[in-house]
């Protein structure tokens, strides 16, 4: 990319100190605002590169300035000024001393609590922007800056649109990074705030699992996967992820916008409620059902866990009112010992049993034969009691 002001010392009233980075449409510089005595970042867009589309690019850039300039929130980068320097439009914004989330992810997985906290902050910043009619349309790790204290800020509303704007793009509404774009955005359909929530859900998945949910060797394959592929739950990739976060992610990246979160603040609230303990290496106890009830509305990806079938609820004590008589009767009749149960329960049967025990043994038998009825009945009682306890604690 040609830098039309590479040797210039000033952009407007801002003194250029160096280059911070380059994008598809412009260059970002580090500069100083000597009038107010503060460092700034200057984002530029070269208007001389595409003369045939100059008006469109300029309108889009100024639109970004108006949209971002009206947002004053702890989780959104602050825009100070906008202007023109020859063929270069520029925007002055706060200079952030932090690191892009993209670079953090390349070094390895984030702690679960940190990942959830970053996602919640971004959701709160988006909620603020959405309430003012601004949709970002390009939420991705490279547009999220993480400051040393843990604060997260949304950067680059470069393709944000105000709902009432008439500015169009070459490909309808298909702007953004395909890996993080909602299916309706890929298809060039109408896009609203729920597209930002889908993109944030993809970023959250990547932070939790350490891998992106939608991959591919080329743009077409990525787009196909976004539109038709349900990725495995994050906990299948990273077993330390609690099930409740699987549900949050599932709802955020639902294919149907109607099945997603409808409000960024609702997503932020669920993330706060589901945030694991600091330093947790395994899933913490599940949050109260009421705290995350909105998460349960829908899921669009498999939530099969390796621990399916394991006991997860509290063990219940045996009720003192439990009566095993009916179970004992059914067990006795099923084993053909109903008559023995009747005999042991009746007085005459008990007396007859006692008489049998004192009667002389037949001469043919060297030893006295003992009745096996009481032993069988006792065995049945033990089995029935064990069965009843197993059913009760379940």
Give me the domains of the chain, ranges plus CATH numbers: 10-94 (3.30.200.20), 99-297 (1.10.510.10), 325-393 (no CATH)
Label each residue of 292-360 as H, E or C. HHHHHHCCCCCCCCCCCCCCCCCCCCCCCCCCCHHHHHHHHHHCCCHHHHHHHHCHHHHHHHHHHHHCC
Report, in this order, helix, strand and coil percent for the chain, each rounded to 5. 45, 15, 45
Count of CB atoms within 10 A of residue 254's CB?
24
Three-state DSSP class for residue 299: coil
Candidate list 33, 138, 156, 246, residue with the active-site label? 138
pLDDT of residue 393: 54
In degrees and rounded to multiples of 5, residue 31 shows phi and psi of: -145, 175
Q: How many residues does the chain have?
A: 394
pLDDT of residue 339: 56
pLDDT of residue 63: 75
Q: Say how far apart CA 146 and CA 152 lie, in whole Å.
A: 5
pLDDT of residue 14: 95
Enter the pTM of the model: 0.66
Tally of CA atoms within 13 A in the half-sphere of 364 that contains its CB: 0
List CB contacts of 302: < 8 A, sequence separation 6 or more.
230, 232, 233, 236
pLDDT of residue 293: 34
* Per-residue pLDDT of the chain in tens (394 residues, 90 and over written 9): 455 555 458 899 999 999 988 876 678 999 999 999 999 999 887 776 556 667 777 777 777 777 778 889 999 999 898 888 887 888 899 999 999 999 999 998 689 999 999 999 999 999 999 998 889 989 999 999 999 999 999 988 755 655 444 444 444 444 568 899 999 998 888 889 999 999 999 999 999 999 999 988 888 899 999 999 999 999 999 999 999 999 999 999 999 999 999 999 999 999 999 998 876 553 333 333 333 333 333 334 443 333 333 333 333 343 444 454 554 455 456 545 555 556 555 544 444 443 444 444 445 545 555 555 666 666 666 676 666 665 655 5
Q: 343 vs 99, 306, 347, CA distance in Å?
A: 83, 51, 8
* Residue 92, beta-bridge partner list: 42, 81
Could you tell me which of 57, 46, 35 has the C-alpha nearest to residue 6?
46
Question: DSSP character for 36?
Answer: T
List CB contacts of 304: < 8 A, sequence separation 6 or more.
233, 236
**DSSP-assigned states of every residue in 118-177:** HHHHHHHHHHHHHHTTEE-S---GGGEEE-TTS-EEE---TT-EETT-----TTTT--S-
Note whether 89 and 81 are within 8 A (CB).
Answer: no
| Distance spanning both ends of the chain, measured CA to CA | 68
Q: 156 vs 32, 200, 237, 322, CA distance in Å?
A: 20, 15, 31, 66
| Structure tokens, 180 | 């993080």
Count of CB atoms within 10 A of residue 357's CB?
11
Note whether 259 and 182 are within 8 A (CB).
Answer: no
pLDDT of residue 60: 74
pLDDT of residue 99: 93
pLDDT of residue 180: 94
Sheet of strand 38-46, all strands in order from the earlier edge strand to the far edge: 10-11, 14-22, 27-33, 38-46, 88-94, 79-85
Q: Say how far apart CA 281 and CA 296 lie, in whole Å.
A: 25
* 138 flagged as catalytic: yes
């Amino acid at each position: 990319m040609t830098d039309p002001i590479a040797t210039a010392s000033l952009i407007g009233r801002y003194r250029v100190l160096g280059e911070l980075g380059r994008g598809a449409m412009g260059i970002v510089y580090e500069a100083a605002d000597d009038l107010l005595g503060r460092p700034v970042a200057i984002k530029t867009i070269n208007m001389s590169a595409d003369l045939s589309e100059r008006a469109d690019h300029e309108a889009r850039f100024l639109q970004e300035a108006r949209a971002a300039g009206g947002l004053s929130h702890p989780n959104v980068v602050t825009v100070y000024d906008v202007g023109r320097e020859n063929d270069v439009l520029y925007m002055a914004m706060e200079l952030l001393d932090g690191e892009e989330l993209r670079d953090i992810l390349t070094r390895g997985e984030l702690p679960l609590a940190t990942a959830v906290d970053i996602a919640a902050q971004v959701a709160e910043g988006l909620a603020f922007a959405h309430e003012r009619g601004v949709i970002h349309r390009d939420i991705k790790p490279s547009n999220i800056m993480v400051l040393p204290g843990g604060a997260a800020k949304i950067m680059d509303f470069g393709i944000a649109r105000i709902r009432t704007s008439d500015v169009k793009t070459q490909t309808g509404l298909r702007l953004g990074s395909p890996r993080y774009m909602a299916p309706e955005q890929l298809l060039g359909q109408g896009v609203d705030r729920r597209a930002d929530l889908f993109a944030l859900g993809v970023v959250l998945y990547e932070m939790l699992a350490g891998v992106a949910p939608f991959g591919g060797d080329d743009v077409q394959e990525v787009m196909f996967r976004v539109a038709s592929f349900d990725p495995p739950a994050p906990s299948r990739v990273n077993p330390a992820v609690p099930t409740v976060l699987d549900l949050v992610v599932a709802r955020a990246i639902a294919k149907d916008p109607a099945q997603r979160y409808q409000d960024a603040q609702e997503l932020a609230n669920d993330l706060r409620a589901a945030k694991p303990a600091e330093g947790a290496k395994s899933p913490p106890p599940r949050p109260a059902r009421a705290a995350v009830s909105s998460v349960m509305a829908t899921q669009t990806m498999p939530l099969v866990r390796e621990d399916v079938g394991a006991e997860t609820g509290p063990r219940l004590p045996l009720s003192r009112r439990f009566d095993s008589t009916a179970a004992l009767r059914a067990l006795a009749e099923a084993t053909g010992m109903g008559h023995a149960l009747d005999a042991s329960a009746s007085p005459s049967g008990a007396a007859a049993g006692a008489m049998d025990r004192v009667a002389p043994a037949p001469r043919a038998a060297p030893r006295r034969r003992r009745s096996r009825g009481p032993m069988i009945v006792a065995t049945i009682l033990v089995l029935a009691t064990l069965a009843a306890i197993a059913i009760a604690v379940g």
